[in-house]
């Protein structure tokens, strides 16, 4: 119900349809629910596996499940909805022991191919070559940047998360995304 309520109140504006198929028989809420349930609860992380699991075990709940190609296309079109959903989940479930006056920033590499490879095969549009000084290695991929609330004695809780290509400078990214927060 949480996904449906949030979708009806807010998320639908991030993936609104402007076509004759603006009210499909298999809804966007169902796609999001399947993706989150199969990914989080059943530990399926590949879209093909999620679709196969749903088709085999949840067909009574979702009798109008579209083909894998249609499911994958519609899931990819919901990327902005998942972005907003993650922001809402982070803000809704913030622990009480967070220090809201102190935020920490950090970044980490997301390596998509080994340093020897000169040609990317995964996500060519958003990846690039970068250098990780803590690991003292060159890599090809992305950088995951996080702004997090400090929690004494435990791991920080994320306030905001973003990713960029590996070549982007951390300080520039932090200023662009959180310049009004960082002092």
pLDDT at 3: 87
Residue 75's pLDDT band, with cuts at 50, 70 and 90, is very high
Q: Which residues of 14-36 are buried (b: 16+ CB within 10 A; e: fewer)?
A: ebeeeeeeeeeebebbbbbbbbe
Beta bridge partners of 150: 99
Whether the pLDDT of residue 22 is over 90: the answer is: no
Distances (CA, A) of 49 to 46, 68, 92, 154: 5, 10, 30, 34
Q: What percent of the chain has pLDDT over 90?
A: 43
User: What are 16's two structure tokens?
Assistant: 């609104």
Whether the pLDDT of residue 52 is over 90: the answer is: yes
Whether the pLDDT of residue 100 is over 70: the answer is: yes
Q: Model pTM?
A: 0.74
Query: Between 20 and 178, where is the model more confident?
Result: 178
Residue 37's pLDDT band, with cuts at 50, 70 and 90, is very high
Q: Which residues of 46-81 are buried (b: 16+ CB within 10 A; e: fewer)?
A: ebeebbeebeeebeeeeeebbeeeebbebbeebeeb
Residue 73's pLDDT band, with cuts at 50, 70 and 90, is very high
Q: Which has the closest alpha carbon to 107: 160, 152, 55?
A: 160
Residue 15 neighbours by CB under 8 Å, 6+ apart: 28, 77, 78, 80, 81
Cα 66 to chain centroid, rounded:
23
Residue 178's pLDDT band, with cuts at 50, 70 and 90, is confident
Whether the pLDDT of residue 35 is over 90: the answer is: yes
Q: Is the dihedral of CA 164, 168, 173, 174 positive or negative?
A: positive
pLDDT at 49: 95
| pLDDT tens-digit series, residues 101-150 | 888 999 999 988 866 666 777 778 888 888 888 888 888 889 999 999 99
Q: Which of 63-72, 117-126, 135-144, 174-183 has the highest mean pLDDT?
A: 63-72
């Amino acid at each position: 119900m949480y996904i449906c309520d949030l979708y009806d109140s807010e998320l639908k504006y991030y993936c609104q349809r402007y076509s004759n198929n603006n009210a499909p028989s298999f809804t966007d809420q169902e796609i999001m629910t399947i993706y989150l349930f199969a990914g989080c609860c059943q530990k399926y992380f590949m879209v093909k596996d999620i679709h196969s699991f749903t088709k085999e075990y949840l067909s009574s709940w979702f009798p109008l499940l579209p083909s894998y190609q249609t499911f994958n296309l519609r899931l990819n079109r919901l990327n902005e909805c998942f972005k907003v959903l993650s922001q809402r989940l982070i803000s809704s479930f913030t622990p009480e022991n967070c220090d809201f006056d102190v935020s920490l920033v950090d970044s980490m590499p997301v390596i998509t191919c080994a340093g020897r490879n000169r040609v990317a095969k995964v996500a060519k549009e958003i990846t690039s070559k970068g250098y990780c000084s803590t690991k003292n290695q060159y890599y090809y991929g992305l950088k995951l940047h996080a702004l997090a609330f400090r929690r004494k004695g435990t791991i920080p809780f994320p306030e905001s998360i973003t990713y960029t290509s590996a070549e982007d400078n951390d300080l520039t990214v932090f200023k662009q995304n959180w310049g009004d927060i960082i002092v």
